[in-house]
Amino acid sequence: MRVFILAIAVICALPATAQDADELRIAREVLTRLQDQSFDKKREYCGYIGYDENGRLKASDPIAGTLDGCSAAFPRNLAITASYHTHGDFDQGYFNEVPSTIDMEGDKEFYMNGYVATPGGRLWYIDTQIMVARQLCGISCLPSSNRFEKGAKGEIAQSYTYEELKEKLGD
């Protein structure tokens, strides 16, 4: 138990970055698996990535959310480094091809970064140290919805600061 607590203290002192190849691999794998289910059920799915008591990086089991949100309890067996979630199925009523300001605020509140999968198959990384969301890969790099309409909400940039997202989303 002392080793686990020490591991958590060391891990929490080190910021996770998108360049962490293992974290990115896990995020991409779990979000790839969740995309079709997210489209079929028309809901978001979310969870966390972190280190277990043996020092292995892994993803928590996903939790089903709603059409426009998801909230998962923090797993007790992980020292969390990042969140992950899908944005559900494509819907003209939502701007779901970019992370939301709520996505960024939620991750920042809990001192973690985040990964977001969109209906168009984009993978985003939210860096809460500098409050920037950037595309790690574009349309169809993850499974995409059959209902996805490219360009439905205009041009999508490669990255957005928090303030740029607020402006784009009209927050």
Residues 40 and 26: their CA atoms lie apart, in Å, by 22
113-117 and 79-86 beta bridge pairing: parallel
pTM of the predicted protein model: 0.87
Query: What confidence score (pLDDT) does residue 171 get?
Result: 82
CA angle 117, 121, 126 (to 5 degrees): 35
Residue 109 — φ and ψ, nearest 5°? -55, -35
Query: What confidence score (pLDDT) does residue 9 get?
Result: 38
Q: Does 19 score more than 80 pLDDT? A: no
Reported as a single tens digit per residue, the pLDDT across 52-104 is 999 999 999 999 999 989 999 999 999 999 999 999 999 988 889 999 999 99
Q: Does 17 score more than 90 pLDDT? A: no
Residue type, 61: D
Residues 69 and 67: their CA atoms lie apart, in Å, by 6
Reported as a single tens digit per residue, the pLDDT across 114-152 is 999 999 999 999 999 999 999 999 999 999 999 999 989
What residue ranges do the domains of the chain occupy? 2-169
